[in-house]
Amino acid sequence: MVHTSVLTKKVIKYLEIKKNGTYIDCTFGGGGHSRAILKKLGIDGKLYSLDQDPQAVKIGKKIEDPRFKIFLDKFSNIERNLQNVKNKNKIDGILLDLGMSSLQLNSHRRGFSFMNDGPLDMRMNPKIGISVCEWLKKTNLKEIEWVIKNFGEDKYAKKIARAIILQNKRKIIKSTLDLVKVIKKSIPIYDKFKHPARRTFQAFRIYINQEIIELKKILRIIINLLSSGSRIAIISFHSIEDRIVKKFIKNNSTHPTIPKGLPITEIQIKKQTKKKIRFIKRIKPTISEIQKNPRARSAILRICELR
């Protein structure tokens, strides 16, 4: 199954793609957004894409276009990938389409899906770090509960964590559907329209791929990487990510004010001249897009610009 990109037209519109501009797609995935950016670029335009998933990068390597280059890496390492790149100091726009792709979700052996059986892995790069199964073997009740509570916002975090620890003492949970069974048994009642394992799977995926740490790091990097007039487009899929993006925009949108009459120190001057961003727009998918692509349902696109 291919990945259907979310809010593509809006991303292209609000990135205001310049024909000879230089752009970065931090999350190549199935390449839908990257291809749409390439279509808008002229002969002197450039697009640098990244993905930490070797499968995604394999797809990207098939694009034969001198204006395009793809890197296999976490987006928090973007600067080292751009080291030898022309125009690295003149980036016109950057896109982050967070979370996982349908390619990852539908590939059962990657272990992202609570609907299909597969090894309990969930790593976006299976060569880096440890799988969810390995982590659950060595962690403790408190940590599992914390992860489910904070990254899954599940009110049954404690019950689920306890059930996982108990089950792992009997027999190690090795597959996605084994984990689903444990979760279902541990929850007293559940909404029949919402899968009981959805929140725990989201939480474990976020934790194992360090998604929140990655997001915070890239937001810090973006401010220094981009220059005045550059555009930032960020698509998030759950409230935890969106809150971080919102806070980033808010914190960087206001200039610190120095009370009248106070002597201005060097630190204060630095603070005042710090790059700031201007919030442009928050966009949600239309009903018709959601009908065509249910994955778009929870997407929120935020656009801003460097001042």
Ligand X SMILES: C[S@@+](CC[C@H](N)C(=O)[O-])C[C@H]1O[C@@H](n2cnc3c(N)ncnc32)[C@H](O)[C@@H]1O
Residue 99 binds ligand X (CB under 6 A)? yes
Residue range at the interface with ligand X (CB under 6 A); choices 47-55, 181-189, 191-199, 266-274: 47-55
Residue range at the interface with ligand X (CB under 6 A); choices 25-33, 84-92, 113-121, 225-233: 25-33
Q: Which value, to the nearest 10 degrees, does the dihedral of the CA atoms of residues 42, 47, 53, 55 take?
A: 30
Q: Which position among 15, 47, 50, 148 is part of the footprint of ligand X (CB under 6 A)? A: 50
Minimum CB distance to ligand X, residue 68 (Å):
14
Minimum CB distance to ligand X, residue 38 (Å):
12
Residue 60 binds ligand X (CB under 6 A)? no
Residue number with CB closer to ligand X (21 or 32): 32
Residue number with CB closer to ligand X (101 or 176): 101
Within residues 170-209, the interface with ligand X by CB under 6 A covers none
Within residues 213-242, the interface with ligand X by CB under 6 A covers 214
Q: Which position among 17, 37, 51, 222 is part of the footprint of ligand X (CB under 6 A)? A: 51
Do the beta carbons of residue 205 and residue 131 sit within 8 Å?
no
Binding site for ligand X (CB under 6 A): 3, 5, 27, 29-33, 50-53, 56, 74-75, 97, 99-101, 124, 214
